[in-house]
């Protein structure tokens, strides 16, 4: 009777988990359009900066000597955005819906020698910046690097002090967003004697677009170089090479074992010396095949965790094929992976426990602990090391606990996290 009640409870729990999983799939990458009135202000968020050829190294935009508001206000971030290194903060740009601005002054800064050195280093490393406008990403470069002669080598660094924002709208919705420096004159950072005053300006233009709101992310151009993307041809070549090697090994083994199979399959009419092959070839290990391994718990845990990751991978691939992810918003996949890992954890426990029981395992408590920590514990140690290094260098890739601190000495601003 108790077993029956336990099975009913387990089935009920499985149904609850499946329902939660289906609800989570329905809420992934949902698009909620924001409608604006004429001249309504739209907040432009500054996000992060980093080297162009190393997108994993990112820093807060306000870590550079740029125009910063008196009080920095951060936007609430999802878990996936935090994992992606986002740190969105309100900017000083005054942008209103469908209102073009030919020229406007953002602020005037007095750059010290240290500020100029920071900007020169950022320009030399090809720093890019990332802005967010109505959940549309805009990327551009902090400055311009002009290379001179090879011998002797020299170069000049220029800072973009003017940005032009071009937006497209359809009805009351924003469907296009772009930032550029076309027509702007770069400010030379080499011919200055600090302290020096620098004025930052911007302009805004609006145009009507035929693009729909739900298709506005599909036409985003790839910003990072092609070399940073997956080389599918190399992946296919590797898969084909592995298949060929497996085929060659299988053929060799079959040819080597052919004689053994012929000896094992002799009939009763054959001579006794041909049938007496119990201690020859692969029959020597016949007793070892059905012997239980020494580390039953470790084997069961590996099988359970492996089954969980196979299920997790298949679920992510299926959702990607169904178009539930936006390729330009990686945080959705990060959040989904964490959610699915938590929801599929029962698979690891179920498979591991079932296999452990079949091989007559006795230390079931140790099996549970090992299954739950086989992946989580090494991953936590690796993440702690990488996160500590990123935190030491002030990168936004480091996961903050409750607050972040601006490098320029402003008070800490809380960041809210929502799933």
pLDDT of the residue at 201? 93
> Residue 191: pLDDT above 60?
yes
pLDDT of the residue at 164? 93
> Residue 11: pLDDT above 80?
no
Average pLDDT, the chain: 79
Across 385-411, average pLDDT: 64
| pLDDT tier for residue 45 given thresholds of 50, 70 and 90 | very high
Across 143-150, average pLDDT: 77
> Residue 27: pLDDT above 60?
no
174 φ/ψ angles, rounded to the nearest 5 degrees: -90, 125
Across 193-201, average pLDDT: 89
CB atoms within 10 A of CB 379: 11
**Lowest-confidence pick of 171-180, 230-239, 307-316:** 230-239
Across 339-365, average pLDDT: 89
Q: In which residue are the tokens 């178009």 written?
A: 323
Q: Is 49 helix (H, G, I), strand (E, B) or coil?
A: strand
Q: Is 258 helix (H, G, I), strand (E, B) or coil?
A: helix
Two tokens, residue 339: 């959610």
pLDDT of the residue at 255? 80
d(C-alpha 360, C-alpha 378), whole Å: 28
d(C-alpha 355, C-alpha 161), whole Å: 65
Across 88-108, average pLDDT: 92
Across 202-218, average pLDDT: 85
When comparing pLDDT for 262 and 391, which is higher?
Answer: 391
Determine what percent of the chain is predicted with pLDDT higher than 70.
Answer: 74
pLDDT of the residue at 205? 93
171, 161, 162, 174: which is closest to 96 by C-alpha?
A: 174
pLDDT of the residue at 278? 54
Partnered with residue 140 across adjacent β-strands are 129
pLDDT digits (tens, 9 = 90+) for 218-227: 666 666 655 5
Helices (H) and strands (E) in the chain, counts: 11, 18
Across 158-186, average pLDDT: 89
413 φ/ψ angles, rounded to the nearest 5 degrees: -120, 130
> Residue 414: pLDDT above 50?
no
When comparing pLDDT for 381 and 273, which is higher?
Answer: 381
d(C-alpha 292, C-alpha 409), whole Å: 62
Helix spans in 48-93 (H) = 79-83
pLDDT digits (tens, 9 = 90+) for 59-93: 999 999 999 999 989 888 877 788 778 889 999 99
């Amino acid at each position: 009777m108790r077993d029956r009640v336990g099975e009913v409870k387990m089935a009920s729990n499985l149904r609850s988990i499946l329902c939660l999983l289906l609800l989570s799939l329905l809420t992934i990458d949902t698009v909620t359009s924001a409608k604006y009135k004429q001249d309504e202000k739209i907040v432009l968020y500054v996000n992060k900066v980093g080297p162009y050829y190393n997108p994993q190294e990112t820093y807060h935009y306000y870590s550079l000597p740029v125009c910063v508001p008196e009080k920095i206000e951060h936007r609430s971030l999802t878990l996936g955005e935090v994992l992606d290194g986002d740190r969105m903060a309100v900017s000083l740009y005054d942008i209103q819906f469908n209102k073009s601005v030919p020229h406007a002054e953002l602020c005037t800064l007095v750059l010290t020698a240290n500020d100029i050195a920071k900007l020169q280093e950022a320009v030399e490393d090809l720093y890019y910046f990332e802005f967010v406008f109505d959940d549309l990403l805009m990327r551009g470069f902090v400055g311009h690097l002009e290379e001179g002669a090879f011998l002797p080598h020299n170069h000049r660094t220029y800072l973009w002090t003017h940005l032009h924002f071009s937006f497209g709208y359809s009805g009351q919705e924003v469907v296009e967003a772009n930032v550029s420096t076309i027509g702007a004159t770069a400010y030379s950072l080499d011919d200055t004697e600090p302290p020096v005053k620098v004025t930052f300006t911007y302009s805004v233009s609006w145009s009507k677009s035929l693009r729909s709101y739900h298709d506005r992310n599909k036409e985003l151009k790839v910003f990072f170089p092609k070399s940073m993307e997956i080389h599918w041809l190399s992946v296919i070549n590797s898969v084909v090479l592995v298949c060929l090697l497996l085929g060659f090994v299988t053929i060799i083994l079959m040819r080597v074992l052919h004689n053994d199979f012929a000896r094992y399959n002799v009939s009763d009419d054959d001579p006794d010396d041909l049938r007496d092959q119990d201690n020859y070839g692969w029959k020597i290990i016949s007793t070892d095949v059905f012997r239980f391994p020494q580390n039953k718990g470790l084997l069961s845990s590996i099988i359970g965790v492996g089954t969980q990751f196979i299920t997790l991978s298949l679920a992510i691939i299926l959702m990607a094929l169904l178009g539930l992810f936006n390729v330009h918003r990686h945080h959705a996949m990060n959040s989904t992976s964490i959610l699915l890992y938590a929801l599929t954890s029962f698979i690891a426990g179920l498979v591991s426990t079932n296999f452990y029981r079949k091989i007559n395992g006795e230390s079931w408590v140790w099996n549970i602990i090992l299954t739950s920590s086989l992946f989580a514990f090494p991953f936590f140690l690796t993440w702690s090391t990488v996160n500590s290094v990123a935190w030491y260098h002030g990168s936004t890739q480091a996961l903050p606990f409750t607050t972040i601190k601006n490098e320029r000495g402003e008070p800490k601003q809380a960041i809210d996290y929502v799933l």
